[in-house]
Chain A
Amino acid sequence: MNEPNGNGEFVSSADFSDLFPFYLTGDGQGCVEKWGPSLAKLCPELASGVSFSALFEPFRPAAAFEVETLRNNPQDLYVIRHRGSQIMLRGQMRPHATEGFIFIGSPWLSDPSELTKHKLSVSDFAIHDPAIDLLHVLRSQKMATADLQRLTDKLTTQRTKLKEANARLTAQEAETRTLALIAERTDNAVVLTNAHGQVEWINPGFTRLTGYTFKEISGKSPGDLLQGPETDPSKIEYMRERIVAGKGFRIQILNYTKSNRKYWVDFEVQPIRSEAGELQHFMAIQTDISARRSAEANLRVQFRVSQILAADTSLKTIATPLLEAITAELNWSIANLWMADLKSQVLTRTATWGQDPELSERFLNLANQDQLSFDSCLPELCSRSQKLQWVEDMGEFPDCSRSSAASHSGLRSAVGFPIKIGDQTLGVVELLSLSQEPGDESQNQALEALGAQIGQFVQRTQARDELKMRSEELARLNSDLAAANRTKDEFLASISHEIRTPLNGVIGAAEAIQPTALNREQREALEIVSSSAHHLHAVLNDVLDFSRIEAGHVELLPEATALSEFIQETARIFTGVARDKQLDFRVVDQLPANTTALIDTTRLRQIIVNLLGNAFKFTHRGSVTFLASVQGAGKQGCLTIEITDTGIGIPADRLEQLFKPFSQLDASRTRKYGGTGLGLAISRHLSTLMGGTLDIDRTHTPGSRFRLQLPAPLASLSPRNTLPPISLNEDAKILIVDDNQANGLVLKMLLKRLGLVGHHSFSARDAIDYCKEETPAIILMDLHMPEMDGMEATRVLNATVLKDRAPTVPIIALTADVRREVKDACFEAGMDGFLTKPIRLEDLREALAKHLTSTSTGPLRLVPIPPAPSAIDATIVDNIFDFGDDPELAAEVREMFTDMWADVEPCIEEIDSLRKAEDVQTAQARCHRLRGVLANYGFSTAAKKLGEMEHDRETLNALDAINTLRSGLVAARIELIERHHYLA
């Protein structure tokens, strides 16, 4: 619209709208007339005639719109609010036209977002309108606020990081202080170098260890100063390579201090890199391990030396390896072993070892001394002082003849230590070195210990050699002793046979002569011969027995034994003696009923016979008591035998000698009572052998009491004498091979007691000839025979005539020789069994039962056989010997028998002559007479035989009649001896 102004200038409507796009005019009634284009955008409901108040509300001033007020307050700043959009407009009011008003203003925006909200853009505003600028300023403030916030956030973050960094820094500082303190105080050397290995920093420990100050080493490589001639070049090269490669390493190396002292160091190097990985430094920590290495070397050398000394040999043999070990482990160049001759006081070089053989040879040649005496050289010093000696420089060692040689060889330090046993120096070990070394206390101690070790080795080898020598001598002595014992045993066996045989002959001859017609003088002489022979026989038996016991050749043969029966049997031997001496003989059997024990009855009887014999010998009035009891049970059983007498007793001061051999209590007793002096010694030995004891009761008086205690396992085994009887076929014969007639006769009698028939061959040749024709069931072979002995005969028989016989013929050895080697030889010769003389019936029966199984004519028939008939009438004999306490009657009876024996043999000879002369009648008459005599004496078997011969011609003329008669008499005499101890 063209509105003229007061000056008549015009602004076009378009320009006006452009200049004031948010203008509005209203009329006098307050209705809208015109408006600007941008206001229309804000207020789409604008229309002419619309009430201004309806569209806008006053904000400031707050009074309701009045046109008059609007026209007449040009000085007021009006802020109006569009009711629809709530947008604020700010501007001025002026009167317009006659009654109307005009608003000139623009939106008041508190935030650029309102532009978008109200769909306004910059172009909606007049270019001059500062509203947009205001928005810019507002925006700018926001941006500034945002910047401030960012800054604050950054500061906060930085503050936090700073705090953390401070904390880390504080910690690092503390750590650094600690590390600095450690670095300061540690004895280890700490070095910091640059990336090329040149020193940048050292700790005080480095200076203490090496002697170098920081000033002296700064900028240099540590190795330039610390390495020396003996530092391993390969290790130096290794370190260099690692440094160049920027890598860490750990190594042990020999270094030198500033004062040229050698030391071993454990050296650990680590690279230090920046955060970006760039190598910046090397850090090295060095620990002085010289002492440790020295200790390790000392231990190693002690171990090696111990191993070498463990060899069971001589010092001479191990000297070289010993010296080699010492030099190698302790790093010496040469070692010499000097051995001392204590008499001549000279030290002699015994062994040498050098790490460099040329050096040691040069030195020895220069020294030219293998012996040292009256010289104050190192070995001599050690030897005299008996202590380790250290020489720092041999070249300057005064008064030593080898100092020049050492010096010329380049040898400097030396040490010598003694080899000692107690206070005695055996030698010296001398060590020499090319370098000058100060004394090393720990090595000195190790060397002194080695010296003691070697000394002990020498002592041990000396003792071993001496022991060996003594052992050899002992072995030689033992061998000689064994040979002597064998000789003795063979002699004894031989002499036993050689003495027994003639002795048996003397006894037999005396007995043969006894029945003959002798005058009193002859009879007395014969008695002497007979008793002397018997005594000699007893002495021989005792001596041989004692000798066998002492040599350990007695073998015990325990057997199940009915003890009560044994006690009674043994006691019966002395009933006659008791009667003769009119002594009360009491047998006290305290054994439980049916007690059986495992015991060697032969040896037990021997002991008891000895004790009872002594008791009866030394008792003249009173009693002898024989008591037997057992203690314990089962295998712990113990048999106790007590022999108590009321005799002469034993003086107290003689008790110690009682059991010693050949120690009769006094000479007068010996003369009076006789005896061999071995009985108690043998009995004691036997009791000990049997595991028991034999003692005298020292408290028992008057008289004596001997107590024998033996282990006697109580068994439930049946006694041996319940063996089943033996039976062979009627025609079976037992061949007896013995050159002695009496032995053969006895055996035949024993066999007859067993219901068997024996054939006697007097030589091995006869036996062989016999066996060609006959097959004996068993052969009883005496060992000792002239021409061919029993073993040889056995070999011949088994190889020839008996070779293919079936069943085989057992051969049993008969001998008094009980040595094991004899037994072994018999079995080796092919013999099947062994019987010891004198042969007992039970032994014979057991041997026969063992070896006889079947005969050629049929199997073994186990039939009970009647007990062998007694050769005497026990009632008559007992009556004759029942003379009680009457010694005169005993003497009469003895004389009576003596006379009877004297008559018997001549009668038998007469009968034999008469029958051979075919004077049957006279012969039978003589039989009749003799029969009566013998019957009166109780010799029933012989009397019976005579009766048969008296009444039967054929029986009289039978070939074996006389022998049978004589056998009966022998059997009777044996029974008489057993029953009444006749001839004791």
Chain B
Amino acid sequence: MYGMVNQAIEDMVCEVHGEEVWELIKTKAEVDVDVFISNESYPDDYTYRLVAAASEVSKAPADEILVAFGEHWILRTASEGYGELMHAGGSNLKDFLVNLPNFHTRVVMIYPKLQPPRFEVTDVTKNSLNLHYITHRDGLMSFVVGLISGLGKLFKTPATSTLIASRANGDDHEIFKVEW
């Protein structure tokens, strides 16, 4: 997972609970990283441990943490990090989501070490589409839900996402039906 994701966790925890709690979470998670470099790759386990530690410290379920984290990533981290490129990705939610696969393709080319998920968009209608989330990672569906929710807030288009397929159910990958 690249650093920007962990930065998002750090930002969110620091904003809500303060830096001391973040240090505590890092200690609990045994993640001894002072500064997460945005475009640097870090073991996925860091992210999992940080989420778990944050869940323990804040006494909130991990899924809840991930949803909040996903929203925070879109609304703060990515927006601040990518800035106009986020907005350039689409003028509205639908366009952004439609462009999301290409966006991720470019990222892959720029950061070869990263192993970003693959997104595909199908069944695009006026108010919905199916977002295919293809990844080797487990347990980050809630994060995607949060991302989608965050995008909806970013484009001021409240959106909901429904998991319509998952590997847990034997599907190849997760499919979210996004509706707005």
Taking Cβ atoms with an 8 Å cutoff, the residues of A that contact B are 112-113, 115-116, 120-123, 127, 132-133, 135-137, 139-140, 143-144, 146-147, 150-151, 154-155, 158
Residue of B with least CB distance to A152: B35
B102-119 contacts to A (CB < 8 Å): 102-103, 106-107, 109-111
A133 to chain B: which residues have CB within 8 Å?
Answer: 106, 109-110
Note all chain A residues with C-beta closer than 8 A to B88.
112, 115-116, 120-122, 132, 135
Q: How far is the CA of A136 from the CA of B109 in the complex (A)?
A: 10
Grouping DSSP codes into helix (H, G, I), strand (E, B) and loop, the B interface class, with mixed when no group exceeds half, is helix
Contact present for B39 and A140 (CB under 8 Å):
yes
Whether the pair B99, A123 counts as a contact (CB closer than 8 A) is yes
Chain A residues contacting B127 (CB-CB under 8 Å) are none
> Please, which residues of chain A bring their CB within 8 A of the CB of B171?
none
B66-74, B76-84, B138-146, B160-168 - interface stretch: B76-84
Q: Which residues of B contact A113 (CB under 8 A)?
A: 83-84
Q: Name which of A135, A140, A146, A158 has the most chain B CB atoms within 10 A of its CB.
A: A140
Give the residues in chain A near B90, CB-CB below 8 Å.
Answer: 121-123
Which residues of B come within 8 Å of A, CB atoms? Answer: 3-4, 34-40, 81-85, 87-91, 95, 99, 102-103, 106-107, 109-111
- Measured CB to CB, the closest approach of chain A to B161, in angstroms, equals 22
From known contacts A133-B110, A143-B39, A147-B38, infer whether A122 and B84 are also in contact, taking CB-CB under 8 Å: no
**What are 18 contact pairs spanning A and B, CB under 8 A?**
A112-B85, A116-B88, A121-B89, A122-B99, A123-B95, A132-B106, A133-B106, A136-B110, A140-B111, A143-B4, A144-B39, A147-B3, A147-B36, A147-B38, A147-B39, A151-B35, A154-B34, A154-B35
Report A-chain residues with C-beta under 8 Å of the C-beta of B36: 147
Q: CA–CA, A155 to B34, complex, Å?
A: 9
Main secondary structure of the interface of A (DSSP, over half): helix
Q: Are A150 and B35 in contact (CB under 8 A)?
A: yes
Chain B residues within an 8 Å CB radius of A158 = 34
In the complex, given contacts A147-B35, A147-B40, what are 12 additional A-B residue pairs having Cβ atoms less than 8 angstroms apart?
Answer: A112-B82, A112-B85, A113-B83, A113-B84, A121-B88, A122-B102, A143-B4, A143-B39, A144-B39, A150-B35, A154-B35, A158-B34
With both chains docked as a complex, state the minimum distance between the C-beta of B84 and any C-beta of chain A, in angstroms.
Answer: 4
* A143/B110 in contact, CB under 8 A: no
CB-nearest residue of chain A to B4? A143
Q: Which residue of B lies closest to A158 (CB)?
A: B34
Q: Which residue of B lies closest to A146 (CB)?
A: B38
Given contacts A116-B87, A116-B88, contact A144 B110 (CB under 8 A): no
User: By CB atoms of chain B within 10 A, which of A116, A133, A143, A144 has the most?
Assistant: A143
- Which of A116, A133, A139 is the most central at the interface, judged by chain B CB atoms within 10 Å of its CB? A139
Alpha-carbon distance A431/B81, docked complex (angstroms): 95
A171 to B148, CA, bound (A): 54
B34 and A147 contacting across the interface, CB-CB below 8 Å:
no
Note all chain B residues with C-beta closer than 8 A to A112: 82-85, 88
- Which chain B residues lie closer than 8 Å to A147 at the CB level? 3, 35-40
> Hey, which chain A residues are within 8 Å of B99, CB to CB?
122-123
Contact between chains at B85 and A139 (CB < 8 Å): yes
In the complex, which residues of chain B have a beta carbon less than 8 angstroms from the beta carbon of A135?
85, 88
Q: Are B83 and A139 in contact (CB under 8 A)?
A: yes
CB <8 Å contact, B38 and A143: yes
Cα of A137 to Cα of B91 in the assembled complex, Å: 21
Bound form: Cα–Cα A120–B85 in Å: 10
Q: How far is the CB of A136 from chain B (nearest CB, A)?
A: 5
* Contacting pair B39 A115 (CB below 8 A): no
**Closest approach, in angstroms, between the C-beta of A67 and any C-beta of chain B?**
35
**Cβ–Cβ contact A143 & B81, under 8 A:** yes
Q: Which residue of B lies closest to A122 (CB)?
A: B88
Q: Is the CB of B89 within 8 A of A122?
A: yes
Q: Which chain B residue has the least Cβ–Cβ distance from A135?
A: B85
Cβ distance B82 to chain A, nearest Cβ, rounded Å: 6
**How many angstroms from the CA of A969 to the CA of B99 in the assembled complex?**
180
* Bound Cα distance from A116 to B86, whole angstroms: 11
Q: How far is the CB of B138 from chain A (nearest CB, A)?
A: 27
Contact (Cβ within 8 A) A127 B102:
yes
Bound CA span A873–B109, Å: 180
What is the CB-to-nearest-CB distance from A563 to chain B, in angstroms, rounded to a whole number?
117
Task: Give A133 to B90 CA distance when docked, in angstroms.
Answer: 15
Output the nearest chain B residue to A111 by Cβ-Cβ distance.
B84
Chain B residue at minimum C-beta to C-beta distance from A150: B35
The 9 closest A-B pairs by CB, nearest first: A112-B84, A143-B38, A151-B35, A115-B88, A147-B37, A112-B85, A116-B84, A121-B88, A122-B88
- Residues in B whose Cβ lies below 8 Å from that of A139: 81-83, 85
Nearest chain-B residue to A121 (Cβ)?
B88
- Cβ contact within 8 Å between B34 and A151: yes
Set of chain B residues within 8 Å of A116, measured between Cβ atoms: 84, 87-88
Residues of B within 8 A of A146 (CB): 38
Q: Please, which residue of chain A has its CB at the minimum distance from the CB of B89?
A: A122
Q: Judging by beta carbons under 8 Å apart, are A136 and B85 in contact?
A: yes
CA distance A128 to B37 in the complex (A): 29
Distance in angstroms from A123 CB to nearest chain B CB is: 7
Residue on A with the closest CB to B40?
A147
Nearest B residue to A155, CB-CB? B34
Distance in Å: Cβ of B170 to nearest Cβ of chain A: 34
Question: Do residues A136 and B107 form an inter-chain contact, with CB atoms below 8 A?
Answer: yes
User: Which chain A residue shows the least CB distance to B87?
Assistant: A116
CB distance from B128 to the nearest CB of A (A): 20
What's the minimum C-beta distance from B30 to chain A, rounded to whole angstroms?
19
Which A residues are in CB contact (< 8 Å) with B82?
Answer: 112, 139
**Inter-subunit contact B38/A144 (CB<8 Å):** yes
* Shortest distance between the CB of A154 and any CB in chain B (Å): 5
B38 to chain A, nearest CB (A): 4
Please, how many angstroms separate the alpha-carbon atoms of A120 and B109 in the complex?
22
Measured between alpha carbons, how far is A80 from B178 in the docked complex, in Å?
A: 43
Minimum Cβ distance to chain B for residue A473 (Å): 99
